[in-house]
Amino acid sequence: MATTAASDVEHANPHARRRARMGRFLFIAMGITLAMHIPVVLGVVELARRLGVATPWAVGVAWGGLGVGLFVGRIRAGMPDRRRGRAIVWLVDLPYFIHWCAAILTLIPAIALTLVLPLVQLARGEPMHVPVGAYLDTYIAGLAVSAYGVLVRRKWFRVVEREVRVTDLPPAFDGFRVAHLSDLHVGTHAPRARALQWSRAANERTPDLALVTGDLVTSGNAFDDDVADVIGALRAKLGVFSSMGNHDYFGEGEALAGKLRQRGVTVLRNEGVVLEKDGARLWLAAIDDVWTRRDDLGRAMAGRPEGVATVLMAHDPKSFDAAADAGANLVLSGHTHGGQVAVPLLARTLNLARLGYKYTLGFYRRGRATLYVHPGLGTTGPPVRLGVAPEVTILVLRAG
Protein backbone atom coordinates (compact mmCIF):
# COMPACT_ATOMS: atom_id res chain seq x y z
CA MET A 1 0.00 0.00 0.00
CA ALA A 2 2.79 2.43 0.90
CA THR A 3 4.52 1.81 -2.42
CA THR A 4 1.29 2.40 -4.33
CA ALA A 5 0.61 5.62 -2.45
CA ALA A 6 4.10 6.92 -3.16
CA SER A 7 3.65 6.08 -6.83
CA ASP A 8 0.34 7.96 -6.92
CA VAL A 9 1.95 11.04 -5.36
CA GLU A 10 4.79 10.95 -7.87
CA HIS A 11 2.31 10.66 -10.76
CA ALA A 12 0.26 13.59 -9.49
CA ASN A 13 3.17 15.85 -8.57
CA PRO A 14 5.55 16.84 -11.40
CA HIS A 15 8.08 18.10 -8.85
CA ALA A 16 8.16 14.66 -7.22
CA ARG A 17 8.67 13.02 -10.61
CA ARG A 18 11.47 15.42 -11.38
CA ARG A 19 13.21 14.74 -8.05
CA ALA A 20 12.87 10.99 -8.59
CA ARG A 21 14.36 11.24 -12.07
CA MET A 22 17.22 13.42 -10.88
CA GLY A 23 17.88 11.01 -8.01
CA ARG A 24 18.18 8.11 -10.44
CA PHE A 25 20.36 10.19 -12.74
CA LEU A 26 22.74 11.15 -9.93
CA PHE A 27 22.99 7.55 -8.74
CA ILE A 28 23.94 6.37 -12.24
CA ALA A 29 26.29 9.31 -12.84
CA MET A 30 28.11 8.69 -9.56
CA GLY A 31 28.52 5.00 -10.39
CA ILE A 32 30.00 5.84 -13.79
CA THR A 33 32.31 8.44 -12.24
CA LEU A 34 33.62 5.96 -9.68
CA ALA A 35 34.20 3.29 -12.33
CA MET A 36 36.02 5.53 -14.79
CA HIS A 37 38.44 6.75 -12.11
CA ILE A 38 39.83 3.25 -11.52
CA PRO A 39 42.09 3.18 -14.62
CA VAL A 40 42.90 6.87 -14.10
CA VAL A 41 44.11 6.17 -10.56
CA LEU A 42 46.25 3.28 -11.80
CA GLY A 43 47.66 5.45 -14.58
CA VAL A 44 48.53 8.27 -12.17
CA VAL A 45 50.20 5.74 -9.85
CA GLU A 46 52.35 4.64 -12.80
CA LEU A 47 53.21 8.27 -13.60
CA ALA A 48 54.21 8.88 -9.96
CA ARG A 49 56.45 5.80 -10.07
CA ARG A 50 58.15 7.03 -13.24
CA LEU A 51 58.75 10.38 -11.57
CA GLY A 52 60.30 8.68 -8.54
CA VAL A 53 57.63 9.72 -6.04
CA ALA A 54 58.10 7.85 -2.75
CA THR A 55 54.38 7.15 -2.26
CA PRO A 56 52.88 6.66 -5.74
CA TRP A 57 49.71 5.01 -4.44
CA ALA A 58 48.99 7.97 -2.18
CA VAL A 59 49.25 10.30 -5.20
CA GLY A 60 46.97 8.13 -7.34
CA VAL A 61 44.31 7.65 -4.66
CA ALA A 62 44.37 11.36 -3.82
CA TRP A 63 43.90 12.23 -7.50
CA GLY A 64 40.98 9.83 -7.81
CA GLY A 65 39.39 11.06 -4.57
CA LEU A 66 39.66 14.65 -5.76
CA GLY A 67 38.08 13.71 -9.09
CA VAL A 68 35.09 12.04 -7.45
CA GLY A 69 34.66 14.74 -4.80
CA LEU A 70 34.75 17.59 -7.31
CA PHE A 71 32.15 15.79 -9.43
CA VAL A 72 29.66 16.02 -6.58
CA GLY A 73 30.46 19.72 -6.20
CA ARG A 74 29.99 20.43 -9.90
CA ILE A 75 26.62 18.65 -9.92
CA ARG A 76 25.42 20.65 -6.92
CA ALA A 77 26.66 23.91 -8.46
CA GLY A 78 24.60 23.29 -11.59
CA MET A 79 21.34 22.21 -9.96
CA PRO A 80 20.02 24.80 -10.29
CA ASP A 81 22.40 26.67 -12.55
CA ARG A 82 23.29 29.93 -10.86
CA ARG A 83 25.68 32.79 -11.38
CA ARG A 84 29.24 32.09 -10.25
CA GLY A 85 32.45 34.05 -10.62
CA ARG A 86 34.32 33.60 -13.88
CA ALA A 87 37.44 32.73 -11.92
CA ILE A 88 35.68 29.69 -10.42
CA VAL A 89 34.43 28.64 -13.83
CA TRP A 90 37.83 28.95 -15.51
CA LEU A 91 40.01 27.68 -12.68
CA VAL A 92 37.79 24.92 -11.29
CA ASP A 93 34.82 23.98 -13.50
CA LEU A 94 36.43 23.81 -16.94
CA PRO A 95 39.67 22.08 -15.84
CA TYR A 96 37.60 19.55 -13.93
CA PHE A 97 35.36 18.78 -16.89
CA ILE A 98 38.44 18.35 -19.10
CA HIS A 99 39.64 15.75 -16.57
CA TRP A 100 36.19 14.13 -16.32
CA CYS A 101 35.82 13.77 -20.08
CA ALA A 102 39.38 12.44 -20.35
CA ALA A 103 38.51 9.83 -17.73
CA ILE A 104 35.47 8.77 -19.74
CA LEU A 105 37.64 8.48 -22.85
CA THR A 106 40.06 6.34 -20.83
CA LEU A 107 37.45 3.93 -19.50
CA ILE A 108 36.41 2.10 -22.68
CA PRO A 109 39.96 1.49 -24.03
CA ALA A 110 40.99 0.47 -20.51
CA ILE A 111 38.25 -2.16 -20.35
CA ALA A 112 39.23 -3.51 -23.77
CA LEU A 113 42.93 -3.61 -22.90
CA THR A 114 42.28 -5.26 -19.56
CA LEU A 115 40.27 -8.02 -21.22
CA VAL A 116 42.40 -8.59 -24.32
CA LEU A 117 46.03 -7.93 -23.34
CA PRO A 118 46.32 -10.66 -20.66
CA LEU A 119 45.05 -13.20 -23.22
CA VAL A 120 47.71 -12.08 -25.69
CA GLN A 121 50.38 -12.33 -22.98
CA LEU A 122 49.16 -15.79 -22.00
CA ALA A 123 49.24 -16.96 -25.62
CA ARG A 124 52.81 -15.74 -25.94
CA GLY A 125 53.83 -17.34 -22.69
CA GLU A 126 54.63 -13.96 -21.15
CA PRO A 127 53.86 -12.96 -17.54
CA MET A 128 50.40 -11.41 -17.29
CA HIS A 129 50.11 -7.89 -15.89
CA VAL A 130 47.66 -5.02 -15.75
CA PRO A 131 48.45 -2.55 -18.59
CA VAL A 132 48.82 0.52 -16.35
CA GLY A 133 51.18 2.18 -18.83
CA ALA A 134 48.45 2.06 -21.46
CA TYR A 135 45.98 3.56 -18.96
CA LEU A 136 48.36 6.47 -18.46
CA ASP A 137 48.91 7.02 -22.19
CA THR A 138 45.18 6.91 -22.89
CA TYR A 139 44.41 9.37 -20.10
CA ILE A 140 47.02 11.86 -21.34
CA ALA A 141 45.65 11.61 -24.89
CA GLY A 142 42.14 12.03 -23.49
CA LEU A 143 43.16 15.23 -21.72
CA ALA A 144 44.32 16.74 -25.02
CA VAL A 145 41.15 15.74 -26.90
CA SER A 146 38.88 16.87 -24.05
CA ALA A 147 40.62 20.23 -23.75
CA TYR A 148 39.82 20.84 -27.42
CA GLY A 149 36.20 19.80 -26.94
CA VAL A 150 35.68 21.94 -23.83
CA LEU A 151 37.69 25.04 -24.71
CA VAL A 152 37.38 25.24 -28.51
CA ARG A 153 34.85 23.04 -30.31
CA ARG A 154 31.78 23.83 -28.19
CA LYS A 155 32.27 27.58 -28.74
CA TRP A 156 32.99 27.40 -32.46
CA PHE A 157 29.53 27.57 -34.03
CA ARG A 158 28.64 27.64 -37.69
CA VAL A 159 25.77 29.05 -39.77
CA VAL A 160 24.36 26.58 -42.28
CA GLU A 161 21.60 26.98 -44.88
CA ARG A 162 19.65 23.82 -45.62
CA GLU A 163 16.85 23.37 -48.14
CA VAL A 164 13.91 21.23 -47.06
CA ARG A 165 11.05 19.98 -49.21
CA VAL A 166 7.69 20.45 -47.53
CA THR A 167 4.63 18.64 -48.85
CA ASP A 168 1.58 20.84 -49.51
CA LEU A 169 3.65 24.02 -49.12
CA PRO A 170 1.91 26.90 -50.93
CA PRO A 171 3.93 28.44 -53.79
CA ALA A 172 3.97 31.78 -51.93
CA PHE A 173 6.07 30.13 -49.21
CA ASP A 174 8.56 28.55 -51.62
CA GLY A 175 11.94 30.01 -50.62
CA PHE A 176 10.63 31.02 -47.19
CA ARG A 177 13.61 31.33 -44.81
CA VAL A 178 13.34 30.00 -41.25
CA ALA A 179 16.09 30.65 -38.70
CA HIS A 180 16.05 27.60 -36.42
CA LEU A 181 17.88 27.71 -33.08
CA SER A 182 17.64 25.11 -30.36
CA ASP A 183 19.08 24.02 -27.00
CA LEU A 184 20.71 27.33 -26.13
CA HIS A 185 21.26 26.37 -22.47
CA VAL A 186 22.12 29.97 -21.68
CA GLY A 187 23.85 30.05 -18.31
CA THR A 188 27.21 29.42 -16.69
CA HIS A 189 28.75 27.68 -19.70
CA ALA A 190 26.87 29.62 -22.41
CA PRO A 191 26.92 33.24 -21.21
CA ARG A 192 24.75 36.00 -22.61
CA ALA A 193 27.54 37.63 -24.64
CA ARG A 194 28.30 34.43 -26.53
CA ALA A 195 24.63 33.59 -27.06
CA LEU A 196 23.97 37.03 -28.54
CA GLN A 197 26.43 36.10 -31.28
CA TRP A 198 24.00 33.35 -32.31
CA SER A 199 21.14 35.85 -32.58
CA ARG A 200 23.23 38.27 -34.61
CA ALA A 201 24.37 35.48 -36.95
CA ALA A 202 20.74 34.47 -37.55
CA ASN A 203 19.67 38.08 -38.15
CA GLU A 204 22.42 38.57 -40.75
CA ARG A 205 20.66 35.96 -42.94
CA THR A 206 17.44 38.05 -42.94
CA PRO A 207 15.02 35.23 -42.08
CA ASP A 208 11.29 35.41 -42.67
CA LEU A 209 10.67 33.55 -39.43
CA ALA A 210 12.76 32.77 -36.32
CA LEU A 211 12.01 29.64 -34.28
CA VAL A 212 13.65 28.41 -31.07
CA THR A 213 12.78 24.84 -30.09
CA GLY A 214 13.32 24.67 -26.35
CA ASP A 215 15.95 24.07 -23.67
CA LEU A 216 16.57 27.78 -23.49
CA VAL A 217 18.27 27.43 -20.09
CA THR A 218 19.83 24.50 -18.23
CA SER A 219 18.02 24.72 -14.88
CA GLY A 220 16.65 27.27 -12.45
CA ASN A 221 15.71 30.86 -13.23
CA ALA A 222 18.92 32.81 -12.62
CA PHE A 223 19.49 33.30 -16.35
CA ASP A 224 15.92 34.01 -17.49
CA ASP A 225 16.67 37.66 -18.28
CA ASP A 226 19.77 36.68 -20.26
CA VAL A 227 17.98 34.16 -22.45
CA ALA A 228 15.08 36.56 -22.94
CA ASP A 229 17.58 39.16 -24.18
CA VAL A 230 19.11 36.62 -26.56
CA ILE A 231 15.85 35.39 -28.09
CA GLY A 232 14.38 38.88 -27.96
CA ALA A 233 17.30 40.06 -30.09
CA LEU A 234 16.21 37.82 -32.98
CA ARG A 235 14.59 39.62 -35.90
CA ALA A 236 12.35 38.07 -38.55
CA LYS A 237 9.70 39.43 -40.90
CA LEU A 238 6.83 37.29 -39.57
CA GLY A 239 7.98 37.17 -35.96
CA VAL A 240 9.96 35.23 -33.38
CA PHE A 241 8.44 32.11 -31.80
CA SER A 242 9.65 29.74 -29.10
CA SER A 243 8.59 26.41 -27.64
CA MET A 244 9.61 24.95 -24.29
CA GLY A 245 11.95 22.05 -23.53
CA ASN A 246 12.40 19.81 -20.50
CA HIS A 247 15.24 21.91 -19.05
CA ASP A 248 13.02 24.98 -19.12
CA TYR A 249 10.93 23.32 -16.42
CA PHE A 250 13.93 22.52 -14.20
CA GLY A 251 12.90 25.83 -12.64
CA GLU A 252 9.74 27.92 -12.94
CA GLY A 253 8.74 27.60 -16.58
CA GLU A 254 5.96 30.17 -16.30
CA ALA A 255 8.44 32.82 -15.16
CA LEU A 256 10.70 32.09 -18.12
CA ALA A 257 7.82 32.19 -20.60
CA GLY A 258 6.69 35.52 -19.12
CA LYS A 259 10.15 37.07 -19.63
CA LEU A 260 10.15 35.96 -23.26
CA ARG A 261 6.75 37.48 -23.89
CA GLN A 262 7.93 40.78 -22.40
CA ARG A 263 10.63 40.85 -25.13
CA GLY A 264 8.04 40.33 -27.87
CA VAL A 265 8.60 36.59 -28.34
CA THR A 266 5.52 34.44 -28.96
CA VAL A 267 5.70 31.31 -26.78
CA LEU A 268 3.59 28.50 -28.22
CA ARG A 269 2.53 25.68 -25.89
CA ASN A 270 0.08 23.17 -27.35
CA GLU A 271 -1.28 25.82 -29.70
CA GLY A 272 -0.74 27.30 -33.12
CA VAL A 273 -1.11 30.40 -35.26
CA VAL A 274 -1.76 31.08 -38.93
CA LEU A 275 1.06 32.72 -40.85
CA GLU A 276 0.07 34.57 -44.01
CA LYS A 277 2.16 35.55 -47.03
CA ASP A 278 0.82 36.90 -50.28
CA GLY A 279 -2.63 35.49 -49.50
CA ALA A 280 -1.31 31.99 -48.70
CA ARG A 281 -1.42 30.42 -45.24
CA LEU A 282 0.83 28.21 -43.12
CA TRP A 283 -0.02 26.72 -39.72
CA LEU A 284 2.76 27.12 -37.15
CA ALA A 285 2.23 25.17 -33.93
CA ALA A 286 4.19 23.81 -30.98
CA ILE A 287 3.72 21.14 -28.35
CA ASP A 288 4.83 21.65 -24.77
CA ASP A 289 7.41 19.54 -22.96
CA VAL A 290 7.11 15.77 -23.23
CA TRP A 291 9.26 14.89 -20.20
CA THR A 292 7.01 16.69 -17.74
CA ARG A 293 3.91 15.44 -19.59
CA ARG A 294 2.72 18.87 -20.61
CA ASP A 295 2.51 17.99 -24.32
CA ASP A 296 -0.85 17.80 -26.07
CA LEU A 297 -0.52 17.21 -29.80
CA GLY A 298 -4.27 17.21 -30.30
CA ARG A 299 -4.62 20.74 -28.91
CA ALA A 300 -1.65 21.97 -30.93
CA MET A 301 -3.21 20.77 -34.17
CA ALA A 302 -6.84 21.52 -33.26
CA GLY A 303 -7.03 25.01 -34.73
CA ARG A 304 -5.36 24.16 -38.02
CA PRO A 305 -7.40 25.30 -41.03
CA GLU A 306 -8.39 22.55 -43.43
CA GLY A 307 -5.73 21.74 -46.02
CA VAL A 308 -3.11 24.16 -44.64
CA ALA A 309 0.47 22.88 -44.39
CA THR A 310 1.82 22.61 -40.83
CA VAL A 311 5.20 23.39 -39.27
CA LEU A 312 5.33 21.90 -35.78
CA MET A 313 7.86 22.77 -33.09
CA ALA A 314 8.47 19.73 -30.87
CA HIS A 315 11.53 19.88 -28.65
CA ASP A 316 11.90 16.10 -28.27
CA PRO A 317 12.17 14.24 -31.60
CA LYS A 318 10.44 11.23 -30.05
CA SER A 319 7.23 13.11 -30.88
CA PHE A 320 7.87 12.91 -34.62
CA ASP A 321 6.04 9.68 -35.39
CA ALA A 322 2.84 10.84 -33.68
CA ALA A 323 3.16 14.30 -35.27
CA ALA A 324 3.55 12.78 -38.74
CA ASP A 325 0.48 10.62 -38.19
CA ALA A 326 -1.42 13.72 -37.06
CA GLY A 327 -0.68 15.49 -40.34
CA ALA A 328 2.33 17.70 -39.59
CA ASN A 329 4.35 18.41 -42.72
CA LEU A 330 7.56 19.68 -41.13
CA VAL A 331 8.60 18.98 -37.53
CA LEU A 332 11.47 20.92 -35.96
CA SER A 333 13.16 19.41 -32.90
CA GLY A 334 16.33 19.52 -30.85
CA HIS A 335 16.98 17.92 -27.46
CA THR A 336 19.63 15.38 -28.52
CA HIS A 337 22.46 17.85 -29.30
CA GLY A 338 23.41 15.29 -31.95
CA GLY A 339 24.82 13.29 -29.07
CA GLN A 340 27.16 16.22 -28.24
CA VAL A 341 30.01 13.74 -28.82
CA ALA A 342 30.19 11.84 -32.10
CA VAL A 343 32.60 10.30 -34.55
CA PRO A 344 33.75 13.05 -36.97
CA LEU A 345 32.24 12.73 -40.46
CA LEU A 346 29.90 10.02 -39.15
CA ALA A 347 28.08 12.13 -36.57
CA ARG A 348 24.59 11.32 -37.82
CA THR A 349 25.16 7.58 -37.40
CA LEU A 350 27.72 7.30 -34.60
CA ASN A 351 26.85 9.64 -31.75
CA LEU A 352 26.03 9.24 -28.07
CA ALA A 353 22.35 10.06 -28.58
CA ARG A 354 22.03 6.79 -30.53
CA LEU A 355 22.03 5.03 -27.16
CA GLY A 356 18.49 6.25 -26.50
CA TYR A 357 17.04 7.92 -29.59
CA LYS A 358 15.82 6.85 -33.00
CA TYR A 359 16.13 10.34 -34.47
CA THR A 360 19.34 12.07 -33.41
CA LEU A 361 20.59 14.57 -35.98
CA GLY A 362 19.56 16.09 -39.28
CA PHE A 363 16.68 15.18 -41.61
CA TYR A 364 14.32 12.21 -41.44
CA ARG A 365 11.20 11.28 -43.39
CA ARG A 366 8.01 9.48 -42.42
CA GLY A 367 5.32 9.36 -45.07
CA ARG A 368 4.59 12.94 -46.11
CA ALA A 369 6.33 14.45 -43.07
CA THR A 370 9.89 15.67 -42.62
CA LEU A 371 11.77 16.00 -39.33
CA TYR A 372 14.81 18.18 -38.72
CA VAL A 373 16.75 17.48 -35.50
CA HIS A 374 18.89 20.49 -34.65
CA PRO A 375 22.38 19.82 -33.21
CA GLY A 376 21.88 22.54 -30.60
CA LEU A 377 24.02 25.50 -29.64
CA GLY A 378 24.73 25.03 -25.95
CA THR A 379 25.61 21.95 -23.92
CA THR A 380 24.24 20.05 -20.97
CA GLY A 381 26.12 17.77 -18.61
CA PRO A 382 29.83 18.22 -19.28
CA PRO A 383 30.36 21.37 -21.38
CA VAL A 384 32.03 19.54 -24.26
CA ARG A 385 31.44 18.95 -27.95
CA LEU A 386 33.39 16.62 -30.20
CA GLY A 387 32.37 15.78 -33.75
CA VAL A 388 29.10 17.75 -33.53
CA ALA A 389 29.33 21.47 -34.26
CA PRO A 390 26.98 24.01 -32.65
CA GLU A 391 24.81 25.44 -35.40
CA VAL A 392 22.54 28.30 -36.37
CA THR A 393 20.38 26.69 -39.04
CA ILE A 394 18.64 28.58 -41.84
CA LEU A 395 15.99 26.32 -43.34
CA VAL A 396 14.88 27.31 -46.83
CA LEU A 397 11.41 25.84 -47.44
CA ARG A 398 10.74 24.40 -50.87
CA ALA A 399 7.49 23.07 -52.26
CA GLY A 400 7.79 19.33 -52.71
Are 346 and 312 part of one and the same domain? yes
The percentage of residues in the chain with a pLDDT greater than 70, rounded to a whole number, is 94
Quote the domain boundaries for residue 110: 2-151
Q: What is the pLDDT of residue 116?
A: 85
Q: Do 51 and 179 belong to one domain?
A: no
- What is the pLDDT at residue 18? 62
User: Does residue 220 share a domain with residue 81?
Assistant: no
Contacts of residue 286, Cβ cutoff 8 Å, sequence gap at least 6: 213, 241, 243, 268, 269, 270, 271, 272, 300, 312, 313, 314
Question: Do 229 and 263 sit in the same domain of this protein?
Answer: yes
The predicted-structure confidence for 94-140, as pLDDT tens digits, reads as follows 999 999 999 999 998 998 888 888 788 778 877 777 788 999 999 99
Model pLDDT, residue 17: 65
Residues 113 and 210 in one domain: no
Same domain, 167 and 314: yes
Instruction: Give the pLDDT of residue 27.
Output: 77
Domain CATH for 180: 3.60.21.10
According to the model, what pLDDT value does residue 13 have? 61
Q: How many domains does the chain have?
A: 2
Where a domain ends, among 120, 151, 182? 151
Contact between 369 and 169 (Cβ < 8 Å): no
Same domain, 268 and 323: yes
Integer-rounded Cα Rg, in Å, for the chain is 24
Q: Which segments of the chain have a pLDDT < 50?
A: 1-11
Residues 189 and 118 in one domain: no
Same structural domain, 171 and 292: yes
pLDDT tens digits, one per residue of 133-158: 999 999 999 999 999 999 999 999 99
Q: Does 119 share its domain with 201? A: no
At residue 164, φ and ψ (nearest 5 deg) are -140, 125
| Residue-level pLDDT at 125 | 79
Run of H or E including 211:
strand 209-213
Residues 177 and 76 in one domain: no
Which of 107, 135, 151 is the endpoint of a domain? 151
- pLDDT value, residue 258: 96
